[in-house]
Chain A
Amino acid sequence: MHNETLVPYLLLLGDSALVQGQRLCEWCGRAPAIEEELALMNVGLDLVGQARNWLEYAAELLDDGRDADALAFRRDERAYRNLLLVEQPNGDFAVTMTKQFFYDAWHFAVLQGLVGSNDERIAGIAAKALKEVTYHLRRSSEWVQRLGGGTEESRQRMLAAIPAPWRFTVELAAGSDNEVHLAQAGIAADPAAVGAAWLKQVGETFASVELPLPKAASHFYLDGRKGLHTEHLGLLLAEMQFLPRAYPDATW
């Protein structure tokens, strides 16, 4: 039962954190200030650490000989369950921060729901992650405010950064039937509550610097929860998985 319901949920959490962390790694040495080098890598480090925790639990439940590394480095894009939002390219700093903020606002609401999970393992991982994500959300929401309310140029860039990631927020505003069932069983965060908290956070932050909130995104063909990704994920995984794929017998 767990393999069909809980594992996909753990993969949604773990894969999203891992892919977002991977995107942050791409910023290394290229950030707008040294303080940002530190912060981007710090957030990425938190997320990859969380991904490892979720994937370890998923691997235990699967019990098919794969460990967290095998799940991270040997699954193809059709088996990845991350949110479409996090696999989008970094773009400029405004795009990166917009994506980060949308993700953090969702992530924070999810973890707030999960600390009370009646699955103790989930509650434990979430409690640790929530402390980290509280910081992530504060940071990314502040950057949305600085860029949106900074200079004329930064505001224009911020406005330009919103539409592309916005269409993927449909996945943040609503969960799958599986998540609804898991939430009813007291295991997962309630997707309706997460969606409402997400929208409230985004609305308040946008309003604080008079950024217009687009109308709700609507569902279309793609679905990260089902492994139906954009074309960006395959390339991201090709880079990330190259070594374990090229040297399958190696020990690192």
Chain B
Amino acid sequence: MYAQLVETGVKRVKSLEEMSPEERNFQEKIDAEIKIEAKNWMPEAYRQTLIRQISQHAHSEIVGMLPEGNWVTRAPSLKRKLQLMAKIQDEAGHGLYLYSAMETLGADRDEEIAKLHSGKAKYSSIFNYPTLSWADMGAVGWLVDGAAIVNQVVLQRTSYGPYSRAMIRICKEESFHQRQGYEILLTMMRHGTQAQREMVQDAINRLWWPALMMFGPSDEHSPNSAQSMAWKIKRQTNDELRQRFIDQTVPQLELLGCTAPDPELKWNAERGHYDFGDIQWDEFYEVIKGNGPCNQERVATRRKAIEDGAWVREAAVAYARKQQNKNAA
């Protein structure tokens, strides 16, 4: 999930009786599965929650270019280099879609990006982990994009129209990335050397738990979920989505011939689901707070890019204005 901890600012979900006529009208539309559009009335908390969620999602796409950018100059074949370049380009495009969707809510792109650079706005915790081998490019595609898809497939039905439509477009490309990532790992496992197989297992060992954390805190520690679910911004809980991801990923893991770094992972026939071990929530909250392995580098890189590029953007604006004046004269 690319937006894993979104504050709603709401302590308790109101019942229909407690709502103002406007609020009730809004909630009834939501309940009837009618999409909310930019010009429709919406509660201020709904608007702010969506701005936080969509901007977090957009920031994740942009920060998410960095762990992959770390290997794009070192991709081991022309084919893999082309795939990775295409993927990074898609991610920049997803960021643009999402910032546009966010702007329909009246938010300003530059202001929200400034919040990212000051540490006020979050992005997915997963991108604070370093990419240490080529196998990480496969594992990121398979696990990280895989987790994102589980979340985004549901978000295609999210109640806010512009967000829902962005998800529909983005999901198509993400599924493609995920298959490519898995194919990287499968190639290394089936046709590679012993050293390559060890690289794959090592990448899975390092990224498995961080990928599970992408779905956010467990439901009992997710105070904002109830309101997000009532507004149908979220359609399923963190734990439901995490379970779905594990259930669909374990068979893929077995097909690779790899293992998960979780001794408690096993099929539970009674539940019809995989049981799995405890997530290190201390680590999760540290990463979210900015104390993960790469938080400082990631934010510093993005801040520097925008600061160093200020003169370029100013030049573009100045030149466009001069051209306009010339055309008007």
Interface residue B302 (Cβ < 8 Å from any Cβ of A): yes
**B313 to A251, Cβ gap below 8 A?**
no
A250 touches B314 (CB 8 A): no
Could you tell me the distance between the alpha carbons of A55 and B81 in the complex, rounded to whole angstroms? 15
Question: Is B65 touching A29 in the complex (CB atoms < 8 A)?
Answer: yes
Cβ contacts under 8 Å, B193 to chain A: 247, 249-251
Interface residues of B in 98-122 (CB under 8 A from A): 99
Provide the bound-state CA to CA distance between A64 and B309, in Å. Answer: 46
* A149 in complex: contacting residue of B77, B79, B80, B319, CB < 8 Å: B319
B residues less than 8 Å from A28 (CB atoms): 65-66, 68-69, 72, 88
- The stretch that binds B, out of A166-174, A175-183, A210-218, A235-243, is A235-243
Is A52 positioned at the interface, with any CB of B under 8 Å from its CB? yes
Bound Cα distance from A36 to B75, whole angstroms? 22
| Interface segment out of the listed A39-47, A76-84, A103-111, A112-120 | A39-47
With A32-B305, A35-B96, A251-B187: A240-B319 Cβ-Cβ less than 8 Å: no
For B187, list chain A residues within 8 Å (CB).
Answer: 251-252
Q: Does B315 contact A (CB under 8 A)?
A: yes
CA gap between A32 and B305 in the complex, in Å: 6
B311–A157 CB distance below 8 A = yes
Asked whether B196 lies within 8 Å of A154 as measured between CB atoms, the reply is no
B309, A150: Cβ atoms under 8 Å?
A: no
Q: How far is the CB of A101 from chain B (nearest CB, A)?
A: 15
Min Cβ gap B114→A in Å is 14
The prevalent SS among residues of A at the interface is helix
- Whether, in the assembled complex, B146 has its beta carbon less than 8 Å from a beta carbon of chain A, the answer is no
Q: Are B96 and A48 in contact (CB under 8 A)?
A: no
Chain B interface size, as a band, is 35 or more
Say yes or no for B325: interface residue by CB 8 A criterion: no
Contact check, A30 vs B301: say whether CB atoms are below 8 A apart.
yes
- CB-nearest residue of chain A to B316: A146
Contact (A44, B85) CB under 8 Å given A28-B65, A37-B65, A252-B187: yes
Known contacts A37-B65, A51-B78, A251-B188: A31-B89 contact under CB 8 Å = no
Considering the chains assembled together, what is the distance between the CA atoms of A223 and B98 in angstroms?
Answer: 47
Q: Which of A41, A92, A243 interacts with B74 by CB under 8 Å?
A: A243
Q: Which residues of B contact A (CB under 8 A)?
A: 62, 65-66, 68-69, 72-82, 85-86, 88-89, 92-93, 95-96, 99, 134, 184, 187-188, 191-193, 195-196, 301-302, 304-306, 308-320, 322
Interface contacts beyond A31-B305, A154-B312: sample of 11 additional A-B pairs, CB < 8 Å, sorted by A: A25-B69, A28-B88, A29-B69, A32-B306, A34-B92, A34-B99, A37-B88, A52-B82, A72-B78, A251-B196, A252-B184
| Interface set of A (CB-CB < 8 Å, partner B) | 21-22, 25-26, 28-38, 41-42, 44-45, 48-49, 51-52, 55, 68-69, 72-73, 92-93, 145-147, 149-151, 153-154, 157, 239-240, 242-244, 247, 249-252
12 contacts between A and B (CB under 8 A): A29-B62, A29-B69, A29-B302, A33-B309, A41-B85, A45-B85, A48-B82, A146-B316, A154-B312, A250-B76, A250-B196, A252-B77
Closest 6 CB pairs of A and B: A32-B309, A150-B315, A28-B69, A154-B315, A243-B76, A32-B312
